[in-house]
Structure 1
């Protein structure tokens, strides 16, 4: 019993952080390596949160967790652990064991396995615009998305809410909500089933419903970001006070996110191109491109550009928005 109790306290006393970084000025930092990209090593510490270290200032390092090591090009080599070596060197232990200069390493990323117990991430951005001149205009917009992955399943939920009043009279009131369910068959291929509904009080078409399904391909999904491409066959229904219209479409959708500047900056893009199977509409494009600057672990400053475009025979209608706001991420 005394041996078991001693082992228990030894486990409690053991450090929770297994990664160590030695700097060329003699300092040593302990924490968890998040990733290396763009010449910056992101290290999560207990005492200072996430810190960014210039890769050229590191003397050597060690890590007990698996990492994907990229030297050049697009090929990654899996390392089971990294061990400290001489000055400016590190020892890579995996399928083969060797020592190489730190200067040759361009990227370190923890691998994300296909089968995970659970992964939850998301963003919520808000924008408020208040004008006080000849007219009092109050406009606010709320956009959010979240993703939950468990095993071979992935749930994606996104939504948007917009309100605008002019001299205390409502002039804009719309919302939309979309839910997608993905089932992965391999590390890259998956099948998606999705539903979407949008309502607008002040447009001719006051309600839109879309149900679609089709294959998708995940090019990558790791600590640096993701890139998905999805093709779908959809059934669209438009409702208005004048008449209702239902038709089929074929769509291509992309979902892209990339962390830059040592995870401080995030670039993301979402776009969907729909080709209706009717003569009245050539195509419908719904796209957004944005940047998020991470103030800390949860707060974000966001800059967003939206482009919605409809092409019909003989005319093109475009709607553009530029949004600056603040949000949270997890």
Structure 2
């Protein structure tokens, strides 16, 4: 008897439809999948049969979702804390949707400017990252082969976050090596509250063809997370650092104060990603006023893992009344997770 009950329960479970979000279009079509987000007038829907599709918000008649969503409506401002929370959305009349939480209310679709699945700031088993590659081969007056790898990854569990970034660059011109350098940085964050955290980190760089052949740095300081959700993130960190240089003329050690930001924002549904990272150092030496290391980039998502990337790097140092800048433009392909 028990075996029959278990078998019956299994068959009933298999027969039940898989829960999914549903979108009804103005032309009468109906699409099922998982709502990823609404932003910029585009609804990103992940379907089983066509992957991720972007739907113009104005082409939607109504929709239904059984999962919690954060809504932002016209006139609510930019503060995410002013977003409305819904446990589910129910289909209503043409151009309307019913928002169900502690209460139930019907609102026009046109009044909704953003839908985002809620993502706790502190959560377990979050792993993301990107790896971008650039290859440049020239066969003109000089034969030149240059390649560069840039990668980063973040792992979060509970109140801890691990951030690892690295660069690797190699160039050969006319059979001779002219550039060979690498950089690796690891940061460990401990969240003290929903927004505040404390960071401890270290960095090492090596370059065979520069005056500074090796840089080692350790630092620590407070950070503040403004937001981190499905649309992006923004962190600001201040640190006190100890820096050690190995140069062709000898060793040098000094302290710096630094300010760092980490910004990412998804645009055009989830197809386009804008990101920016920068670190500004104020050294405690008279010869140098500041050192800036920054990058600004765009990634276009070809599919769930492949990316086309465009990156602009600006490295700047000012001291003794002069400013020296290096600018790099990189275009390549990579993958993300």
Structure 1 length-normalised TM: 0.98
1:159 to 166, 183, 186: 166
Shift of 1:281: 0.7
Shift of 1:17: 4.2
Once the two structures are superposed, the pairs formed by residues 270-289 of structure 1 within 5 Å of their partners are: 270-289=277-296
Shift of 1:39: 0.4
Once the two structures are superposed, the pairs formed by residues 111-260 of structure 1 within 5 Å of their partners are: 111-260=118-267
Distance (whole Å) between structure 2 residues aligned to residue 193 and residue 12 of structure 1: 49
SS for the counterpart of 1:7 is helix
Distance (whole Å) between structure 1 residues aligned to residue 242 and residue 17 of structure 2: 55
Give yes or no for contact 2:274–2:298 (8 Å, CA) kept in 1.
yes
Distance (whole Å) between structure 1 residues aligned to residue 88 and residue 318 of structure 2: 54
1:47 to 46, 49, 73: 49
Q: How many residues align?
A: 330
Shift of 1:162: 0.2
Distance (whole Å) between structure 2 residues aligned to residue 325 and residue 92 of structure 1: 43
2:72 to 38, 53, 70: 70
Shift of 1:14: 3.4
CA offsets 1:96-121 (integer angstroms, 9 cap, x no match):
32110000000000111134221111
**Structure 1: 5+ residue stretches without partners:** none
Change (3 A) 1:10 1:115: farther
Distance (whole Å) between structure 2 residues aligned to residue 52 and residue 318 of structure 1: 41
Give yes or no for contact 1:71–1:107 (8 Å, CA) kept in 2.
yes
Q: In the alignment, which residue of structure 2 is the partner of 1:24?
A: 26
Shift of 1:94: 1.4
**Structure 2: 5+ residue stretches without partners:** none
Distance (whole Å) between structure 2 residues aligned to residue 185 and residue 13 of structure 1: 46
Distance (whole Å) between structure 1 residues aligned to residue 318 and residue 73 of structure 2: 45
Tell me how large the CA RMSD over aligned residues is.
1.0
Runs of 4+ in structure 1 over 6 Å off: none
CA offsets 1:111-141 (integer angstroms, 9 cap, x no match):
1113422111111000000000111000010
Change (3 A) 1:162 1:13: farther
CA offsets 1:2-22 (integer angstroms, 9 cap, x no match):
232222233234344421111
Distance (whole Å) between structure 1 residues aligned to residue 191 and residue 17 of structure 2: 36
SS for the counterpart of 2:227 is strand
Distance (whole Å) between structure 2 residues aligned to residue 12 and residue 216 of structure 1: 48
Q: In the alignment, which residue of structure 1 is the partner of 2:324?
A: 317
